[in-house]
């Protein structure tokens, strides 16, 4: 969940040129539920989850009624004062997300120890009135916090940083997934593994670049717990929809893998935890300049315009790797199945079916 760029808001609707044809025929089919790829997660609270109630939610709004957020400093001071002494940052672009209530509304935001400048003593802070189905996000309160703002960032270990502000210290433990490797039997011909993307939704993805078809793919990591349950549109169907996340995967014909083909566009618009993994690249574990090289190979006009993390040198943001559709109706995804099941789709070009938009 990050500030939405114009490019992120664009709807990816063209699927593999004229090969994929949009249809809504699946909308009339009954949905069969399949519980697959899910292992119950162990909990430190006796396999129990915290119970959230409407009472607690309303009372939290009441407690925040008098809190006034008029500046970046107001927001940062409140958030930092409420952090525990040690936090774990799961998403792999190093965003530590939060929400809080103030003045009768909900604020959302993040603290980020970005790979390109955290060792220079920078922690990025952003907060804004949270968007919902009826209201856009409020004004962005953003600041790169450094010693100039009284914030000290100290590197303790490779993935551990201590941040100090007004006498309080918080240790940020970043997610070290450098040792994670995809099973060999899920890698398609021509694919290069770029790293593990851990999304704020709680799902994990192997990010691949296919040097033959010049396309990227997010493949569900099923080597551990998968924190969702999946439905299929029809019996024995290959399109799988996450009940919690709304993420849509295609069950590969030839390999034991599920490829991300869609996220719900409504989640992208309101910028919530289910807006897709495009903003959670594995930036802590880039090796041999593989990310920039892959982007340029897929989009040659980017040559000379990117840094090693995929950011535009012009400062306009990061190159978007989103080889999936932002869908509004499930029927918009039917072209993937048409392509994958088409008898004229040879095995050699099968994996080119799972991309969308400018990819």
| 290-306 mean pLDDT | 96
pLDDT, tens digit (0-9, with 9 covering 90-100), for 212-261: 999 999 999 999 999 999 999 777 789 999 999 999 999 999 999 999 99
Percent of the chain whose predicted confidence (pLDDT) is above 90: 77
Question: What is the domain extent for residue 114?
Answer: 54-174
**Statement to judge: residues 260 and 349 lie in one domain:** yes
pLDDT, tens digit (0-9, with 9 covering 90-100), for 324-348: 999 999 889 989 999 999 999 999 9
Q: In the listed set 174, 209, 228, which residue is the last one of a domain according to the structure?
A: 174
**Statement to judge: residues 344 and 242 lie in one domain:** yes
How many domains does the chain divide into?
2
Q: What is the pLDDT of residue 186?
A: 97
Q: Say if 1 falls within a structural domain.
A: no
CA atoms within 13 A on the CB side of 25: 7
Q: In the listed set 174, 198, 233, which residue is the last one of a domain according to the structure?
A: 174
**Whole-number mean pLDDT of the chain?**
87
**Statement to judge: residues 185 and 298 lie in one domain:** yes
**Statement to judge: residues 310 and 287 lie in one domain:** yes
At 36, the pLDDT band (50, 70, 90 cuts) reads very low
Does position 8 have pLDDT exceeding 50, yes or no? Answer: no
**Statement to judge: residues 345 and 209 lie in one domain:** yes
Burial 107-121 (b: 16+ CB within 10 A, else e): bbbbbbbbbeebeeb
Task: Determine which of 4-18, 99-113, 123-137, 161-175 has the lowest per-residue pLDDT on average.
Answer: 4-18
Q: In the listed set 155, 174, 193, which residue is the last one of a domain according to the structure?
A: 174
Which DSSP state fits 117? Answer: T
């Amino acid at each position: 969940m990050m500030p939405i760029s114009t490019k992120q808001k664009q709807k990816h609707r063209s699927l593999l040129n004229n090969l994929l044809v949009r249809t809504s025929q699946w909308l009339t089919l009954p949905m069969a539920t399949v519980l697959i790829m899910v292992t119950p997660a162990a909990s430190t609270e006796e396999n129990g989850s915290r119970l959230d109630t409407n009472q607690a939610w309303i009372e939290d709004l009441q407690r925040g009624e008098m809190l006034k957020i008029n500046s970046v400093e107001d927001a940062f001071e409140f958030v930092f004062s409420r952090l525990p002494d040690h936090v774990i940052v799961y998403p792999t672009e190093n965003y530590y997300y939060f929400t809080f209530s103030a003045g009768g509304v909900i604020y959302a935001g993040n603290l980020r120890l970005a790979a390109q400048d955290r060792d220079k003593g920078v922690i990025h802070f952003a907060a804004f009135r949270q968007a919902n189905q009826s209201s856009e996000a409020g004004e962005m309160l953003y600041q790169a916090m450094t010693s100039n703002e009284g914030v000290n960032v100290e590197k303790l270990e490779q993935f551990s940083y201590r941040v100090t502000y007004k006498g309080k210290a918080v240790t940020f433990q970043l997610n070290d997934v450098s040792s994670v490797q995809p099973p060999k039997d899920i890698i398609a011909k021509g694919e290069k593994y770029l790293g593990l993307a851990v999304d704020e939704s709680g799902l994990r993805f192997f990010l691949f670049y296919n040097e033959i078809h010049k396309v990227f793919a997010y493949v569900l990591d099923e080597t551990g717990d998968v924190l969702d349950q999946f439905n299929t549109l029809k019996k024995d169907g290959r399109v799988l929809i996450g009940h919690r996340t709304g993420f849509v995967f295609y069950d590969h014909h030839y390999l034991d893998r599920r490829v991300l083909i869609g996220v719900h566009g409504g989640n992208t618009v309101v910028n919530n935890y289910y807006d897709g993994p495009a903003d959670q690249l594995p930036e802590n574990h880039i090796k041999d300049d593989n990310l920039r090289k892959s982007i340029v190979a897929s989009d040659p006009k980017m040559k000379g315009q990117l840094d090693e993390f995929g950011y535009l040198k012009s400062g306009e943001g990061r190159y978007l790797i989103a080889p999936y559709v932002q869908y509004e109706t499930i029927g918009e995804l039917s072209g993937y199945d048409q392509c994958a099941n088409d008898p004229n789709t040879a095995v050699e070009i099968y994996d080119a079916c799972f991309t969308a938009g400018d990819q």
